[in-house]
Structure 1
C-alpha cells in the first residue's frame, strides 16, 4: 500500500486567533510556522478581505529580513487580489516591494513574493 502525501489548505480561523498568532510570530520567530499556516488559511478562506489585506500588510512590513513570512505575505496578497478583485495602495506597493526584494536577494524575501506579485498584476489587470 502506497501512501501519498496530501496537502490540505488550512481553514480560516477566528480573527482573534489570527491576530494573536501573527503578533506572537512577529515578536518571536519560533512561532513563524504556525503563523504561516494561519496567514495562508485567512488568505484562502476568510471572507473579510479588509482583514486579510491588513494582516498581509502587517506581516509583510513587520517581519524581519530573511523571515519566510515576508515571501508568504506577498503570496497571500496575490490570493487576496484574486479572491476580492482589489487591493489598497499600501498593499499594492508592498506586493511590488517584496517582489523586488525577492528578485534582488532570495535570502531576504522568499521567491513566493514573486508569485504573489504576478497574481496581483494578473488579477488586478496591472500589466
Structure 2
C-alpha cells in the first residue's frame, strides 16, 4: 500500500470514529433521527477503506501480471534468437545461402567435386 493510500485509510478511520461519536452524542441528546443519520454515514468511511484495500490488491495483481508477461516475452525472444543462431550454424557459404542450398562457393569446403 502506498503512503498516500495509508493516509487516506487513516483519514477514513478518523472520519468513521467521529461519525460514530456524533451518533452516540445525538442519541444522548435525544435526537433519534440524527443518531440514525450519523450511524448510517459512519459506514461510508468503512466502505471507502475496503475499496481502497481492494484497489491496492488489484494494482499489485496487475503489476505481477505485467512482470510475468514481460518474463514470458523475454524468454520467447531468447528462444527465437537461439533458434536463429542454430539455423545459421548450418550455413556454410554465401552462395549456398543465396541459392537456397543448391550451389556452393568455389572455395567452400562442401563444394561437390566432379568425379
Shared fold (TM-score, shorter chain, > 0.5) = no
TM-score bracket, shorter-length normalisation: under 0.3
Is the radius of gyration larger for structure 1 or structure 2?
A: 2
| Structure with greater proportional helix content | 2
